[in-house]
A = this chain, B = another copy of it.
Amino acid sequence: MKELEKLFDRIVQRVNINLRELEFDVNPLVNKLIPTRQMTRFYAFYGLTPHHPLNFVFRHSNLSGSYFLGKVRVTNSLLYKSDIRGDELKQKGDLFQYQDFNIPVDQDEEICIDDSFLIKTLVHNFSHDPETLETFFIRDTVSTHYANIHGSPSDGCFYGPFSTVDLTTIRDCLVGAYAYVQAGEISHLNVDPGTVWVRLPDEFNFMYRHPSDQLTNYIYFTPGNVPQGVFMDFVEDRKAAFEQVFNIVNFKAPVTVPTSASVDRFAVIKPKTSIGDNVLVAQRAFLQNSTLGKGANAQENCYIINSVLEGNDVTAHGAKIIEADMGKTVFVGFNSFLRGRPNARLKIGQECVVMPHTIIDISKPLVIPPGHLVWGLIKNADDLQANSMSLKDFSKIESRMSKGRMLFEGSGKSFVTGFQERIHHILEANGAFYNNNNNRGHAQRNQNISFNTIQPYPKGGDKEGLYPTIIIQP
């Protein structure tokens, strides 16, 4: 284990150097988070498809329980049960549009993870930084449970549990638990827990912050302990179901999957679940007694329980939907937690946009009318009033608006249009619009995938727990 421990120390030191201005020490937060012996217990795995450029290079790292797809290079890093999903990387010959520039992509983009420690973290999408088109880098970074690093090159950052950085180039920043940042480019910031911040420079700025006294009920992270709260309890309670799925080599989903849909073999599917055409279910998704209508999806770490998704619903990475009825084309953002009760179901009307990191946790039935934007923490109808607005009305904002704990500046129209375009793009990428061999997306491409498992050096030497150098190329 000696080399593994040295590697941990080295990463912590590098991150601390990057965060020195913020006077932040990651060591007490992470040094007992994953016992070293846990890091040797789980195999890592990578997918092989005919559709994605293939290039894996793993050196001097531990990859325990992590999943890789596409073009990924990992060096001097610890990746614990993380998903590094390179199926949306830019490809050689693409043109990347940035403001007035049309920049040709020189070679297939690669996710490069160096000197970082990622815990149960999702890495997806592609670098939106025009300065580093061919490299989606993650360097000198520590991220904790269920963080999402989505299209966000990161250098010298610490990500709290259930935090998300989205389409942002980020340097030397602290992102608190359950904070969501989509801000283009930021550096040397300390983003408070529960912040939801969406900014397009010169266009708009959306800012919300969860009330910290209530947020700690859901997620709470202090030095020396694993993250605690409702979010953690919820996933821990369902952990055992994944163990069986990971322990069988040729696992068949216990559900009928249409030929146009794909259900990852590392997802948990419990009865009675029904999968419609063009549905995409990613690895580590959990479905129970639910209906996914045509074109709906469930990404990594999503839980959909006792719910109906009528169709073309986007359930972004880490979102949970429990006891809910979702109309068509409802978008539920990253790590949102939507929980109805058996006698108090949540009903969300069609084309609603549930902002990333929204918590809806009700004990009486609640109906969200169609076409609404919803954010923040909602426990009842009053909260809904304070934390929602019709998209139509929101589009009318031209300069500034505050409502409850939310502050918006800039063009509401630009904000709403941006969201709608992005949702359309996600559905397209997922293959929700697939028809007669047109508009293929992940749902169709991921059907033909073969999985390979890799393990670290076993007991009996300094290298215990380290993976050997592994290079996989076409």
Residues of A bordering B, CB below 8 Å: 43, 48-51, 54, 246-250, 448-461, 463-464, 468-474
Residue of B with least CB distance to A460: B50
Q: Are B48 and A458 in contact (CB under 8 A)?
A: yes
How far is it, in angstroms, between the C-alpha of A275 and the C-alpha of B458 when the chains are bound? Answer: 23
How far is it, in angstroms, between the C-alpha of A48 and the C-alpha of B454 when the chains are bound? Answer: 10
How far is it, in angstroms, between the C-alpha of A469 and the C-alpha of B473 when the chains are bound? Answer: 5
Q: What's the minimum C-beta distance from A455 to chain B, rounded to whole angstroms?
A: 4
Q: What's the minimum C-beta distance from A442 to chain B, rounded to whole angstroms?
A: 14
Q: What's the minimum C-beta distance from A263 to chain B, rounded to whole angstroms?
A: 15
Q: Are A458 and B50 in contact (CB under 8 A)?
A: yes
Q: What's the minimum C-beta distance from A35 to chain B, rounded to whole angstroms?
A: 18
Identify A50's interface contact among B250, B450, B455, B464, CB under 8 A.
Answer: B464
Q: What's the minimum C-beta distance from A474 to chain B, rounded to whole angstroms?
A: 6
* Known A246-B249, A249-B249: A451·B455 in contact at CB below 8 Å: yes
Q: Which residues of B contact A463 (CB under 8 A)?
A: 50, 474
Q: Are B474 and A448 in contact (CB under 8 A)?
A: no
A-B contact pairs, 8 of them (CB 8 A): A43-B249, A247-B248, A448-B459, A449-B458, A451-B455, A452-B454, A469-B474, A471-B471
How far is it, in angstroms, between the C-alpha of A468 and the C-alpha of B52 when the chains are bound? Answer: 13
Q: Are B455 and A450 in contact (CB under 8 A)?
A: yes
How far is it, in angstroms, between the C-alpha of A456 and the C-alpha of B448 when the chains are bound? Answer: 11
Q: What's the minimum C-beta distance from A307 to chain B, rounded to whole angstroms?
A: 31
Q: Are B458 and A468 in contact (CB under 8 A)?
A: no
* Known A250-B247, A470-B472, A473-B469: A458·B453 in contact at CB below 8 Å: no
Q: Which residues of B contact A469 (CB under 8 A)?
A: 471-474
Q: Are A448 and B458 in contact (CB under 8 A)?
A: yes
Residue of B with least CB distance to A459: B448
Identify A453's interface contact among B249, B449, B461, CB under 8 A.
Answer: B249
Residue of B with least CB distance to A57: B471
Residue of B with least CB distance to A450: B455
Q: Are B455 and A48 in contact (CB under 8 A)?
A: yes
How far is it, in angstroms, between the C-alpha of A458 and the C-alpha of B473 when the chains are bound? Answer: 15
Q: Which residues of B contact A246 (CB under 8 A)?
A: 249
Q: Are B457 and A48 in contact (CB under 8 A)?
A: yes
Q: Are A457 and B452 in contact (CB under 8 A)?
A: no
How far is it, in angstroms, between the C-alpha of A248 and the C-alpha of B458 when the chains are bound? Answer: 19
Q: Which residues of B contact A452 (CB under 8 A)?
A: 43, 452-455
State the 4 A-B residue pairs at the shortest beta-carbon distance, nearest first.
A450-B455, A50-B461, A50-B460, A471-B471
How far is it, in angstroms, between the C-alpha of A460 and the C-alpha of B437 when the chains are bound? Answer: 14
Residue of B with least CB distance to A453: B453
Residue of B with least CB distance to A470: B472
Given contacts A51-B460, A54-B468, A470-B472, 19 further A-B contacts (CB under 8 A): A43-B249, A48-B457, A48-B468, A49-B460, A50-B457, A249-B249, A448-B458, A448-B460, A449-B458, A450-B455, A450-B458, A451-B453, A452-B453, A452-B454, A469-B471, A469-B473, A469-B474, A471-B472, A471-B473
Q: What's the minimum C-beta distance from A148 to chain B, rounded to whole angstroms?
A: 27
Q: Are A473 and B464 in contact (CB under 8 A)?
A: no
Residue of B with least CB distance to A471: B471
How far is it, in angstroms, between the C-alpha of A48 and the C-alpha of B469 when the chains are bound? Answer: 12
Q: Are B460 and A456 in contact (CB under 8 A)?
A: no
* Known A50-B463, A250-B247: A457·B468 in contact at CB below 8 Å: no
Q: What's the minimum C-beta distance from A267 to chain B, rounded to whole angstroms?
A: 16
